[in-house]
Structures are given as C-alpha cells and as structure tokens.
Amino acid sequence: MTMFWDAMTIVFVSTGVFFFLAGTVGLLRFPDTLTRLHALTKADTLGFGLIAIGLLPQSADVRVGLKLLVIWLILQFAGACSGQLIAQFEHRSRHSS
C-alpha cells in the first residue's frame, strides 16, 4: 500500500517541480511585466499546490496534513490577490508616469 502512496507522491511532487521550472523560465524569459506575472502565478499556485498535495500522504499525522491543506488554501487566496495587486500597481505606474 505504501508503494502506491510513494508513487503518487513522486508523480505529484515532480509535476509541482515542473511547474516551478515553467514559472521560473517564464519569469526570466518573458518580454513584458504582465506576461511575467502570468507565468509567476502559475508557478506559485500550481507548483506549491502540487508539491503540497504530493506530500499530503507522507505527513506524520492528520494535523500536519491538515496544516498542509490550510497552507495551500491560504496560498491560493494570497496568490490570487497579490497577482491582482501587482498587476494594478504595474498598470497604474505605467499610465500615470
């Protein structure tokens, strides 16, 4: 049974790391600020989310697993809000200056 959980963890964590790779490459290579923001929020929510889901079955007890889920939830809200805030900041500083 644990082999199944280990295999699931490997699959989820490697996809999470892949999204981090995609987000980092996007953050470095994209031409414009807003496109970089698009790449960044993918790496943020998806990369961290998949890693958190991958590590869920490996957590020592239920409390740690629950804490992992809470972190992922907070990061979803925080990632969405900060993405909007940064985009608004960029839009304002581009048009007012």
Partner 1 sequence: MVDFYFGAGALVMILTGLALARLLWGPGPADRMMAAQLLGTGGGAIALLIGTGSGVTAMVDVALLLALLAAFAAVALCAGEPGSKGIHRERIK
Q: Which is nearer to partner 1, 1 or 85 (CB)?
A: 85
Q: Which is nearer to partner 1, 1 or 60 (CB)?
A: 60
Positions that interact with partner 1 (CB under 8 A)? 6, 9-10, 13-14, 16-17, 20-21, 23-24, 27-28, 33, 36-37, 40, 43-44, 47-48, 51-52, 55, 58-60, 64, 67-68, 70-71, 74-75, 78-79, 81-82, 85-86, 88-90, 92-93, 96
**Which amino acid, one-letter code, is at 29?**
R
Compute CA distances 83 → 16, 17, 30, 32, 35, whole Å: 19, 20, 16, 15, 11
Cβ atoms of 42 and 19 closer than 8 Å: yes
As measured in angstroms, the least distance from the Cβ of 46 to partner 1 is 10
Of 50, 37, 21, nearest in space to 89 by CA: 37
As measured in angstroms, the least distance from the Cβ of 1 to partner 1 is 14
Q: Which is nearer to partner 1, 1 or 28 (CB)?
A: 28
Tokens of 21: 């790779």
Residue 4 C-alpha from the chain's centroid: 24
